[in-house]
Amino acid sequence: MSRTQTEQKTRSQTRDETKEPPMYKVLLHNDDYTSMEFVVEILMYVFKKSPESAANIMMNVHRKGIGVCGLYPYEIAETKVETVHNLARESGYPLRCSMEQD
């Protein structure tokens, strides 16, 4: 086997072994106190959703009790959950946010 063939085989094996990181769903949970307007603002600010998409997700949260905000790698999902909790607390709302592996 020539040096070029060996290098190509090694590169190919390395690429094949690389795995994508697991993804996590970030979820918003319904409560009886957080305003719909605040939830829409959170979705637009933290999750970069359009007003229409934010309103749709907010209605899912309202009707079904839970709504998916997005799918992210672990560290990003964790940061978004923490950001939502901090913003909700600062605004006096008990809004809950969680994450689960997809």
List domains and CATH numbers for the chain.
Answer: 20-101 (3.30.1390.10)
Q: What are phi and psi of 67, to 5 degrees?
A: -145, 145
The arithmetic mean of pLDDT across residues 62-88, rounded, is: 97
Residue 7, pLDDT above cutoff 90: no
pLDDT score, position 18: 82
Report the half-sphere exposure of 84 (CA within 13 A, side-chain side). Answer: 28
The arithmetic mean of pLDDT across residues 4-16, rounded, is: 60
pTM > 0.85: no
Residue whose token pair is 């106190």: 33
Mean pLDDT, the chain, whole residue set: 91
pLDDT score, position 3: 62
CA distance 70 to 23: 10
Among 11-15, 53-57, 79-83, the least confident range: 11-15
Output 8 or 88, whichever has higher pLDDT.
88
Output 10 or 85, whichever has higher pLDDT.
85
